[in-house]
Amino acid sequence: MIAAIVLTAVIAFLIVHTYKNAYKRPPNFPPGPPSLPIYGAFWIVLAHDYNDLASAFRKLGEKYKTKILGLFMGPVPTIVLNDPHLIKEMLNREEFDGRMDIILFRLRSFWKKLGIFFTDGYFWHVQRRFSLRYLRDYGFGRRDDTLESVVAGEVKEMLDLRLSGPKYPAEHEIVKGDLVQMPYFFSVPFINGMVQVLSRSTLPRSEYHALWALSKGTVMFQRSSNDMGGALSLTPWLKDVLPNFSGYNSLVKGNQFLLDFYSKLVNDTMDTHDETYDRHFLDMYLTRMKEEMRQKGRSTYSVDQLLLTCTDYTFPAASAVQFVLAMLVERLLLQPEIQDKIHEEIDRVVGRDRLPNLDDRRNMPYLEACIRETMRYDTTVPLGVPHRAMKDTTLGGYNVPEGTMMSFNLTMLHTDKEIWGDPENFRPERFIKDGQLDVASDKSLPFGAGRRLCAGETYARQTMFQVFAGFMQAFHVTTADGKPLLKPARRIQGIITTIPEFWVKVNVRK
């Protein structure tokens, strides 16, 4: 009897304690769902849309009648912005430039805070400034004739893979007769272009299998970051008790492809490095590292940091941009009239005797608009990469405590009726005015904004144009079975938006 009374009292205490903590919030914190033990509001978010966190946050914003949502993810105060104006304000304010220190970011960098994407403060500032300053010398972030020529050569190899058929075993996994696999048919020009930027060299076609493996590993990593990846970040011990279910093993395996690839490249560079002559960016980085060590006895530069710098700049090229083009190919199957317009523009501006080049880009507004509309319609990075408030501040009339995780719902910006009018329609013409690309009308932020703007935006936009223009100049696409495509494939949400790999019939244009 006494034991039953004690048990009842303990249960009652836990219920009252849990209830009180569920609604405990910092002063003047934005409204949002209550917190549950251990995971805070995480499971409540998943309950609103397990497969699409951006959609879940939209629904929660509607439920609580707010465009600035406040909640706890585990013990971490979190603000999610569903308002386009607040998103832009936050991205452009320096006090929100911080990054979260979570297992998802640590496991990819030898359990240290390394790289460019997921670091902040003085270390991030030094490393980002150095890398962008010298990567520009090799075409990253600006137009470069050598890089453009290299990408054009990779596009030719891509086209030949379909026109002449596979030459090497791995190519049979990408091309089968007149069928090609999306998105991996597009992978090589993007990745080899980044290898060129970093090392002034590219992998030959006989080694493309390594680039496809790298791409697939990167896709595995970023897809594993959603849903259970969030639980892993909140309770890191899951990696020890549920390594498969928590996504930990997939994250480690996917990340290892990038690390293994660049470890070999960096090790080969170190074996032949001569401080008196810099051949490429990798040499320049190693030279700076050794200089600092001699001068100061310590350095923010290291071999591990160089590896993570390479993987960070390659990550979008190995995953995001190829899926943008794959989703655009899917759109051509859903709206065939778009394919006809692209073909007409290419034939009128370029013809068939040479590959489209970056000089043609300004005269091909429709193709460029199609790429931009794809990144708007299927938001490339729906929730961006979380920021962190680096000091106590305010936003949208609410208090933001130091350390608050800041998430921004770019899907809300890209589907706002006040901005786009008919966001539910895929309509490239929205970016064209008087027959020219109207960049001012593009209010989308597929690459973010502010000091955390994706450093690879220029490279991504230029290379997407080269790859897709060359592809469309040569080919006409239909579904693999010849039947009309009636609805889009499901979207897979991770760090970026992807779709299931699919086969498409690629016919040589007459």
Q: Residues comprising the binding site for heme?
A: 454
**The tokens of 140 are what?**
């990253």
Q: Are the C-beta atoms of 449 and 84 separated by less than 8 Å?
A: no
Instruction: Name, in order, each residue with C-beta under 8 angstroms of 291's C-beta and a sequence gap of 6 or more.
Output: none
The strand pairing partners of 436, in sequence order, are 433
Give the count of beta carbons closer than 10 Å to the beta carbon of residue 242. Answer: 16
- State the sign of the Cα–Cα–Cα–Cα dihedral 16, 21, 27, 28: negative
CA–CA distance, 308 with 108 (Å, rounded to integer): 8
Q: Are the C-beta atoms of 185 and 158 separated by less than 8 Å?
A: yes
Q: Of the candidates 231, 257, 256, which has an alpha carbon nearest to the alpha carbon of residue 242?
A: 231
* Helices within 103-186 (DSSP H only): 103-106, 121-135, 145-163
* Cβ density class 79-116: b for 16+ within 10 Å, e for less: bbbbbbebbbbbbebebbbbbbebbbbbbbbeeebbbb
Q: How far is CA 235 from the centre of its chain?
A: 24
Backbone angles phi, psi at 401, to 5 degrees: -70, 150
Asked, as a colleague might, if the bond just before 183 is cis with ω within 30 of 0, I would say: yes
* Helices within 297-399 (DSSP H only): 303-318, 320-334, 336-349, 365-377
CA–CA distance, 149 with 357 (Å, rounded to integer): 9
Q: What are the binding residues?
A: 454
Backbone angles phi, psi at 115, to 5 degrees: 95, -165
CA–CA distance, 373 with 495 (Å, rounded to integer): 20
Q: Of the candidates 273, 248, 371, 258, which has an alpha carbon nearest to the alpha carbon of residue 313?
A: 258
CA–CA distance, 136 with 139 (Å, rounded to integer): 5
**The tokens of 399 are what?**
């208090």
Cα 311–Cα 312–Cα 314 angle in degrees, nearest 5? 65
Helix axes 145-163 and 187-199, enclosed angle (nearest 10): 150
> Whats the size of the chain, residue-wise?
510
